[in-house]
Amino acid sequence: MPTASLTRQSTLLQPGHANAFVAEGFGIAPHVVASSDELRGLRLAVKDVFDVEGQRLGAGNPLWLGQQTPATSTALIVARLLEAGAQWIGKTVTDELAFSLLGINTHYGTPDNAASPGRIVGGSSSGSAAAVAAGFADIGLGTDCGGSCRLPASHCGVWGIRPTQGRIAGRGGFSLAHSFDTAGWFTRDADTLASVFTVLTEEVVPPLRDTASTSLNCHIVLDAIADCDPAVRAALPDLLARLGMAMSLTTLSEGELPLDDWAKAHRWLQGAEIWQQHGHWVREHGHSLAPDVLRRFLAGAAVSRQDVSRAQRTRVHAMQHLARVLDDPHAVLIFPTSPGAAPARHATQDALETHRSRAQRHLCIAGLAGLPEVSLPWLRVATSDGPGGEAPVGLSVVGARGNDALVIAAARRLADIGTA
């Protein structure tokens, strides 16, 4: 049980702290009675895509919010965390209909990045990441469809997880793309991340001591490293030297993972599913969306059946290939979560889209194959594009399907060894 945050007391915050919270539902606790103390004293912020009894679900768009009626029940995952003793804080900002990796919302604003003021948080679970990074919450519940927990974790210097696809019950909320959506969460430390996982899955994360960590087989993904910013690449030799003294390291040679093809397949499949679910609403109400969000919806509408078939074949190939690579029960992949630091908030739209496209090459690995991934705080790199002198970049650990506990344990061990 984590102890670092147990002495914190819940305070009645006002909407706008770190620009992370939405007004509706703020400070109003759902009617759930705590039945255990596993998460006692830990403050919970919840992305505004989960049902909360008596409150409307806004999904980052005022028109969508206005069309909803109050939920008649609370999403299972939210209820489970509250039953475990977590303290309700409020609902957090999300990108419009959760369809962005940037964390910029035309209607509700851009949450503040406490780890790197003046830079974007990343999305779409932007408010939950910002609330945790700023210390207003100990657990930030989000969702991850294309990287919406992992990328904000990297940008904000916090822990973030995408569990195995389907591992966490997702009933009770907004769905973006059904075969990619999964709940995820942010914390400031590994123990809290592991405690939440145990509450939600009933599986305990085993500690990896010095002797046990030597059995880890860590595959370094050169394809993800090749397009990283120079400052990120420059930090890798020191990391690998430290890790190599404590565990087995191998490399997946450049070209082994066709990340451009995988990222394209991810976009096509995700876009087609999103249009399938939300195309009718967008046809009628697309005028309420920011131009970049609307463009992504319309790109999904343009995906043909032939594109879907090709992308699905690529997906199957990716799943089979990664299953072979991760066949050893102690095998994990390691690579930077993002190619570089978060862009400045004042960056041009072209620069933001370039950043989004580059990040997708890293995020598609676990997303396309439905694998568990943890992004842990790794380093701060020097920046020269405006605000601040340094900004965070996370390190990702990916494991085989269903091997979430090992991924969390391995990430915790890597943090002890390589990111001090």
Catalytic residues: 47, 124, 148
Per-residue burial over 356-381, b = 16 or more CB atoms within 10 Å of its CB, e = otherwise: bebbbbbbbbbbbbbbbbbbbbbbbb
Residue type, 217: N
User: In angstroms, how far is the first alpha carbon of the chain from the final one?
Assistant: 22
253 contacts 222 by C-beta, under 8 angstroms: yes
Residue type, 278: H
Rounded to whole angstroms, the Cα distance separating 159 from 192 reads 9
Q: How far is CA 375 from CA 153, 186, 214, 351, in A?
A: 6, 9, 21, 23
Distance of alpha carbon 60 from alpha carbon 106, whole angstroms: 9
Q: Is 159 helix (H, G, I), strand (E, B) or coil?
A: strand
Q: How many whole angstroms separate alpha carbon 120 and alpha carbon 112?
A: 7
184 Cβ contact partners less than 8 Å away, ≥ 6 residues apart: 125, 141, 142, 143, 144, 148, 149, 150, 160, 161, 162, 163
Calpha distance 112→156 (Å, rounded): 10
- Indicate the pairing of strand 43-47 with strand 139-144: parallel
In the numeric block, which tokens belong to residue 13? 């915050």
